[in-house]
Structure 1
């Protein structure tokens, strides 16, 4: 079912009042890959009446269309940080938005969490505001903001929200709802794991990281704060992290524990419509649904820990996988949809071939201080691809399913490391690949790859050779990033030479690095120093030169 987004829908359900109203900077897409829908259906399944307002008009009283919630407003910028969604890597305003209908005349505001929180405060004084999603997660402490070229305070303070949920927030948001319902006071929620709050007093039993004032003025202090936040934020460590900002302390409670497999299974079998809500659909196509409508999330979390990726900070390195039975049940749901033509577009997650993997150290003691896959793959991080193959073939056997694809990406180095099933996986992979196989070596220069925490390019070539031998005129298409810390014109020309000599085609996908909040690469971009090695890194900050790097590669 769709969650209500208008009063008429509330009336049709016989609901006079909502318990929780969720606000998002995207159109309301009712699909489990969309965070606001996942949270909304999860709360509904626990007995709460939930409504969603997508893309509220911030120049009118549109935010009042569902009335006042009994418990709280939950606000997110959408599935993507609002500044990333609104601007290109060349700092130009985007002309198209995958999450907004073509003819919808309201756009997502810059710094949407701040705008929407202020909007709610204006119309609903005294109603608790909870912020969450990726924009909240990655901006929860003092952080470098590329768009303003300065270090900003925690978005909790800038938005004036009451509390911030970081990471994958199902457990924390449910506890918040129950606490407010029981105590009638959001201040009681400050004991909940997975939240960030503020206080004028420093709490006992905490680890303090360098303050906002320190990280703003001193690159080494910025690096220290990032390093500690990364290493200490783990559900197994139960550490409370504190950062002073002016005369207040921003306090991060320990993360929530990951969902159990049973919780993960049940979450994705909730009654999603897997469509754009009719209120928004009438304004034209929303591109995002076309990509995900017939996709299945099989795995959550990623221990790849690529320097430029936000998932380490948001979904964490703790990998959880759904059961085959649960995924087959979701396949049956997809089969009943009118638009289904026999193809499952994607079975995966952040990294599809981490499905079924585990690590006893990470699960029992927390993430190590070292990287799982860099510079070499840890013995505890190796993957058995038999589990993923069994899943894919189980789906393929379902009557009415013609094609099952992996579109969300794989780690080729993990495949090569699997001495028992790696070659079998490569042989079978063409059957589960839509067209050409897209992989992301990201660069070819050894130094740049080390800064990115990516495997040596020789492993990509080794995988490419093996795959193309068995794929019958289907090829590996490589994705690359330019303008990343460590890359100057020498490294850029090395990449161009590599593409010419080893690939022999004009690349389809060249992305200019965007310094998104909260990542290792952005930390290096801002400070010019790798926080884990203390090595000084060359950083190209000129937009003109970064654009020239892309042009240089495309002019092959």
Structure 2
């Protein structure tokens, strides 16, 4: 068991606390002068626009450090082609803190098909091109050019999920740790408040950054690993097997063993192996970067071992050799307590963008300005999502009082507040105050998911805390409606029918999104998602309670195409299920291989790292990597789009499924020539660049928005995150009406999920709804930090 950690609000204040609280953290020397500052102690460089809101990482980090007494400045979306912008606030007294922003910069700038996006939700007026590729590396280089002797501290989701040697989808190769490529001094991963506060105070007290090597939640480069700790080779935890070595056909046979040889080899010294969870005095050596570059099976092994070492109470440090240096990854940070979470979220945020942006709209802010983040973390463990690797598996909860106070702050501070709270949620809507009922088991558990392949018997699934919170939030004066826009984990929800009833009766604005992600068991197992039987049970409860409430409400299921292990047949079965249930997806998301996800290891290695990986004995996977196959999987989700019919017909003929072509019931697409009967707008489908995209349609579905029940769906997870999945930036039109729909953000799970509490793009799967009308306001999920 690790020693008791110090609360982040218990540190003695730095001397500069005498300057008090800034209305906004300064972004220019003029603003510093107005505050009476001659210099900044810490300067944060970020790829996002500066919004002083607890959903934006730079604001959370800046306000937490300000509360410690430090003078913190912000350099937001600097011009990166030279060092001038990085010198605009002068030389920081302690260090530069660098983050790419709330999303990985590559996911922010490129689609899942590696096409450049032309917009950026974290930039004023949604303008693209305001951040560089691999922003952490570029910003670090410019800061080093500006002030060579100033320490550089990396943080945010891009650095967090690239802390080890990792597969990079955009260059299609394994890259080194971002810490080494950036030539930074230290990297903080996860929701880094605890590590950041300790690092800041120790540097302020005169300690060299080179000595800060054993802080949980940090990574550093070393010349050698510590001699005082016992090394455990990763193959002892999960043996990958040995490479095949061909025998030398010209080697001579060795002579027979003599008694003398037997005497020499008979006795072997007894060695004492460390206890399995002796985390304090041992570390795990992962295969070196140089070995992983050309060995995909070894990469899958390293990924599997890394995911086994994520419990903050029992994980061991990781070491990975990069050239002649050692990358030292300390254990994950201890989760924040409820008191610490309240401290972070109760800081004096202005809750609006910095005044320098004037009347410019920042889409990410507009999506979350009236939403409340009630928790962090996720124990779902979905393989395509990296929230667990970023925020942790243990849920970090705010108190009910803190959440209600924030609702009141939204009511009083947010311009144009109409009385609707757009979301009470997080990475998942219904994990608030859920967790392991056995503290001892929780501290030693190495399971990647608490709910797959089935819900753990030790998991407390009582939703009463969430129900009580919903009821109290509806009582806040001035609040007319409280929506739940974060994704609902429906396998947990069916464990508490009372929760489903409360949700459906009071908190659904006509549409509720859930994420089955697929229909086929093999693919769902690789995704670590429950089967469709669970979806059907939730659907029954949803429809039952909607009927009892006298409301016409609809589920919007999300699906992912081209996930590793998903075959053409699997996608065909999913398309047939969609047509049978009369769903039409107009917003589709191909799998996006983002750093550190289990599914990304599947994509690169073409094997299953959820099971023990060996060279000879392993589970190989079918992976859609080619552009044509990925287009086919995406097209099958949009079987109704005439632009996709030729590709689908060709695939059906190749698969021996020509009987699915025609106008008969049960056919997927019509015969060739049917396109000629369509209007030009219908032939264009929904691929027209520059148009808005919307989610789904279902026959006979009324437009609920006409009844004043427009459902806004900004999200509040931490993100995404989830960082990993992000929707294509090409925008779409309704192929039947030509009218633009609402834009839906995504990120990954992961990632999508940068720094603290930021808004992030949501699930990687497309939003689905019912045919005929588009659902109101799909929102961006908050990325993991």
Q: Are 2:119 and 2:126, in contact at CA under 8 Å, matched by a contact in 1?
A: no
Aligned equivalent of 2:556, options 467, 477, 486? 477
Q: For residue 544 of structure 1, report the CA deviation from its aligned partner.
A: 2.6
Partner of 1:316: 392
* Aligned residue runs from structure 1 range 140-289, under 5 A: 140-204=163-227, 205=229, 206-237=283-314, 239-281=316-358, 284-289=360-365
Shift in Å, 1:313 = 0.6
Secondary structure at 1:180 match in 2: helix
Matches within 5 A, 1:539-550: 539-550=623-634
For 2:690, the equivalent position in structure 1 comes to none
Q: Computing the radius of gyration over CA atoms, which structure comes out larger, 1 or 2? A: 2
* Structure 1 counterpart SS, 2:593: coil
In the alignment, which of 122, 146, 155 is matched to residue 132 of structure 1? 155
Residue number in structure 2 paired with 1:372: 450
Contact kept, 8 Å, 1:413 with 1:455, in 2: the verdict is yes
Return the offset for 1:370.
5.2
**Residues 336-371 of structure 1, C-alpha deviation per residue, up to 9 Å, x if partnerless?**
123221111111111121101121347752442353
Deviation readout 1:290-312 (Å, 9 max, x if unpaired): 11111111111100000000101
Deviations 1:101-133 (A, max 9, x none): 127686110000000000001111110000011
Aligned to 1:394: 472
CA distance 1:363–1:349, change in 2 (3 Å): farther
SS in 1 for 2:212: helix
Partner of 2:138: 115
In structure 2, relative to structure 1, the CA distance for the partners of 1:228 and 1:102 (3 Å cut) is same
Distance 1:370 1:106, change over 3 A: closer
Residues 410-421 of structure 1 mapped to structure 2, 5 A cutoff: 410-416=488-494, 418=495, 421=496
Contact 2:500 2:542 in 1 (8 A): no
**SS of match in other structure, 2:584:** coil
Indicate which of 413, 418, 422 corresponds to 1:341: 418
> What does 1:418-497 align with in structure 2 at a 5 Å threshold?
418=495, 421-471=496-546, 472-497=551-576
Q: Which runs of 5+ in 2 are unaligned?
A: 1-22, 230-282, 612-617, 641-785
State the Cα distance separating 1:466 from its structure 2 match.
1.8
Shift of 1:166: 0.6
Determine if contact 1:168/1:315 at 8 Å carries over to the other structure: yes
Separation in structure 1 between the aligned mates of residue 106 and residue 72 of structure 2, nearest angstrom? 27
Q: Deviation per CA, 1:489-532, whole angstroms, max 9, x where unpaired?
A: 2111111011111x312124421110000000000000011112
Instruction: Indicate if the aligned counterparts of 1:144 and 1:526 stay in contact, CA closer than 8 A.
Output: yes
Q: Deviations over 1:253-311 (max 9, x none)?
A: 112211110000111011111212122345x2110001111111111110000000010
Is it true that 1:21 corresponds to 2:99 in the alignment? no
* In 2, Cα distance between equivalents of 1:430 and 1:52: 44
Q: State the partner residue of 1:36.
A: 58
CA 1:139/1:183 → structure 2, altered by over 3 Å: closer, same or farther?
same
**Is the partner of 1:532 in helix, strand or coil?**
coil
Whether the 8 Å CA contact 1:480–1:509 is kept in 2: the answer is no
Do residues 83 (structure 1) and 106 (structure 2) align? yes
Given that 1:142 and 1:151 are in contact with CA atoms closer than 8 Å, whether structure 2 keeps it comes out as: yes
Name the CA distance, whole Å, in 2 between partners of 1:227 and 1:410. 27
Show CA shifts across 1:198-223 (max 9, x none): 11212232221111112212222112
- Normalised to the residue count of structure 2, the TM-score between the two structures is 0.69
User: Alpha-carbon deviation of 1:430?
Assistant: 4.0
**Matched-pair contact (CA < 8 Å) for 1:413–1:460:** yes
Cα distance change, pair 519–71 in 1 and its aligned pair in 2 (3 A): same
Match of 1:537 in 2: 621
The CA distance in 1 between the partners of 2:508 and 2:313, in whole Å, is 37
For residues 340 and 320 of structure 1, the distance between their equivalents in structure 2, rounded to whole angstroms, comes to 28
Specify which structure has the higher proportion of helix: 1
Query: Is the partner of 1:305 in helix, strand or coil?
Result: coil
Q: Distance in 1 between matches of 2:222 and 2:172?
A: 27
- SS at 1:5's partner residue? coil
For residues 160 and 210 of structure 1, the distance between their equivalents in structure 2, rounded to whole angstroms, comes to 21
Q: Determine helix, strand or coil for the equivalent of 2:622.
A: coil
Q: Report how far residue 424 of structure 1 moved.
A: 4.6
CA distance in 1, matches of 2:459, 2:131: 40
Q: Which runs of 5+ in 1 are unaligned?
A: none
- Give TM-score scaled by structure 1 length: 0.96
Distance 1:36 1:366, change over 3 A: farther
Partner Cα separation in structure 1 for residue 363 and residue 81 of structure 2: 26
How far has the Cα of 1:480 moved from its partner? Answer: 0.7
Instruction: Give the secondary structure class of the aligned counterpart of 1:30.
Output: coil
CA contact (8 A) 2:49 2:123 kept: yes
Q: Give the Å deviation of 1:225.
A: 1.2
Q: 1:100 aligns with which of 115, 118, 123?
A: 123
SS in 2 for 1:84: helix
Moved more, 373-382 or 473-482: 373-382
